[in-house]
């Protein structure tokens, strides 16, 4: 059972955190230096439209596979329960999910609407908010991967 849950869990983490890494460190500087706002803002909207579908899928997969593994590994509490690394993962993971949902329902929604009405000022402000929150989630995601993958050897 764990042999199915772990690879699904890791694939979801790789897709989500790897996607943020690529968007922030590779795509963002290239798009920023080569396109005007009226070109880059619709482009980012289209990029997020596709990427966020994968993030929703990853988020659900992480929760389902993570929640599935905890009872199999002895539950959250007691002497035989999962290690502290799983508690940290769960806490930071939920934090990442709340940040993503905030991005999805607030600045991203605003970005989409302002691009539709060609309001480049508001769109630019929304993109700036998304950029900060994606950086935050990227950092948390990398930290979670380090903690989660090393925790069982602590």
DSSP code, position 26: I
Residues 21-50 that bind ligand HEM (CB under 6 A): none
Both structure tokens of 127? 């993109």
Under a CB-based contact definition with an 8 Å cutoff, are residues 70 and 21 in contact? no
Both structure tokens of 18? 């790897």
Among candidate residues 142, 140, 110, the one with its CA nearest the CA of residue 44: 110
Residues 66-85 that bind ligand HEM (CB under 6 A): 66-67, 69-70, 73, 82
Would you say 117 or 154 has its CB closer to ligand HEM? 154
Applying CB under 6 A, among 41, 55, 86, 103 the residue interacting with ligand HEM is 86
Task: Tell me: does residue 115 bind ligand HEM (CB under 6 A).
Answer: no
Task: Tell me: does residue 130 bind ligand HEM (CB under 6 A).
Answer: no
Among candidate residues 68, 136, 61, the one with its CA nearest the CA of residue 100: 136
Task: Tell me: does residue 138 bind ligand HEM (CB under 6 A).
Answer: no
Give the C-alpha separation, 101 to 39, whole Å.
26
Number of residues binding to ligand HEM, judged by CB under 6 A: 26
Q: Cβ 109 to ligand HEM, closest distance in Å?
A: 23
Both structure tokens of 15? 């897709």
Under a CB-based contact definition with an 8 Å cutoff, are residues 100 and 135 in contact? no
Binding site for ligand HEM (CB under 6 A): 6, 9-10, 13, 17, 62-63, 66-67, 69-70, 73, 82, 86, 89-90, 93-94, 96, 141, 144-145, 148-149, 151-152
């Amino acid at each position: 059972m764990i042999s199915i849950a772990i690879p699904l869990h890791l694939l979801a983490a790789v897709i989500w955190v790897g996607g943020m890494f690529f968007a922030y460190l590779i795509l963002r500087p290239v798009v920023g230096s080569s396109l005007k706002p009226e070109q880059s803002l619709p482009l980012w909207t289209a990029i997020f439209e596709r990427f966020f579908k994968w993030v929703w899928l990853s988020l659900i997969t992480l929760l389902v596979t993570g929640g599935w593994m905890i009872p199999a590994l002895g539950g959250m509490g007691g002497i035989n329960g999962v290690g502290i690394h799983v508690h940290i993962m769960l806490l930071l993971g939920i934090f990442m999910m709340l940040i993503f949902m905030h991005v999805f329902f607030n600045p991203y929604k605003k970005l989409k609407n302002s691009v539709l009405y060609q309001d480049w000022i508001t769109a630019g402000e929304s993109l700036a908010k998304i950029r900060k929150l994606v950086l935050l989630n990227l950092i948390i995601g990398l930290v979670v991967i380090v903690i989660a993958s090393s925790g069982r050897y602590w």
